Chains A and B, each alone.
Chain A
Amino acid sequence: MKLRTLPLVVTLITAPITAFALPEVGAMIGTNPTDATAALAAAGCDVTDFEAENGKIEAKCIETASGELFEVAIDPKTGLVTNVKAGD
């Protein structure tokens, strides 16, 4: 493989991952289920449920790329992500 084509190959391989990265802590998701569902879907995670837990909203979503369940904690006042972890 020529060295000049290497960046293109790397870009093509990692594109699905970088295009659908889960939101990071501090990312704006929204303060209502409609906005949050859309934001998480755009990040590649399909929401299955929202629950109240310890004063935060816990969005359960399935990452489309891996099929893995994630729990995304959202501050209901600011709409910011406060925690992201793999689901139980």
Chain B
Amino acid sequence: MSTRLLEDHGQGGADAPPALWDPIVRISHWGVAAIVLANGVFNKGGGTLHIWLGWIGMALLALRLIWGVIGTPEARFSAFPPNPKAALSHLADLVGGRPRDYASHNPAGALMVYAFWAMLCVVIASGLVMTDGVSPMRIADQQAAVAAGDWSVLVTEDDGAEDGNSGEEAGEWIKEMHEIAANLLLLLAVLHVAAVVLETRAMRRNLVAPMIIGRR
């Protein structure tokens, strides 16, 4: 593989991951990572900031999913199809100290990506249900009104429809689902970081650099 080819295409070759992932992949990767960490660990659930970050995360996920169809070759879903058998084979290669190169995410990494996106969808969908899909701007207005003593802003025309225990139980169930999925996201993130460290050592190649500014 010549240096010129690397420069021309920003890739390590047909059977090597990109030397620098494209901007959409990098922005969505780090943006979602920061949001998952912030919303899962640091800020208060249900708060204005939490909901703002959730909506930004939803936009980044949507962008990345669209990019999976129309984006660069290595970013497309077709470049890293979910394949559990291939993932196991890759892990066996890794343990055996002879991991192969792949043009996009390796099969184990691909499974992680799809699991992460699926869990992100659960978190976002349950969050939207919990907030009735109310925009972050309106949530901020409601918070300010309640802080000023006006509770009427939370009363809506269709409030009667969900009154009673069943509505409350459903709400609690959705909240539980949101929290469990968010915790699973954090667990997947920890596994992802551990896998990157292991693979970086096994392949003697920095896997983080291509996700930031590229390999030097």
Contacts and interface: CB of A to CB of B under 8 A. Distances in A.
Interface of A: 25, 31-34, 50-58, 75-78, 82-83
Task: Classify the interface of chain A: helix, strand, loop or mixed.
Answer: mixed
A28 to B, nearest CB: 14
Contacts of B142: 52
B155 A54 contact: no
Contacts of A57: 146, 151, 154
B22 to A, nearest CB: 38
A77 B46 contact: no
B191 to A, nearest CB: 27
Contacts of A56: 154
22 contacts: A31-B151, A32-B149, A32-B151, A34-B149, A50-B146, A50-B149, A51-B146, A51-B147, A52-B143, A54-B46, A54-B130, A54-B131, A54-B171, A55-B132, A56-B154, A57-B151, A57-B154, A75-B159, A76-B151, A76-B152, A76-B155, A83-B168
Nearest to B134: A55
Task: Classify the interface of chain B: helix, strand, loop or mixed.
Answer: helix
Contact of B154 (A25, A34, A76, A83): A76
A83 B63 CA distance: 38
Interface in B121-146: 130-132, 139, 142-143, 145-146
A7 to B, nearest CB: 35
Given A32-B149, A52-B139, 11 more contacts: A33-B149, A33-B151, A34-B149, A52-B145, A54-B175, A55-B131, A58-B46, A76-B151, A77-B155, A77-B159, A82-B168
B148 to A, nearest CB: 9
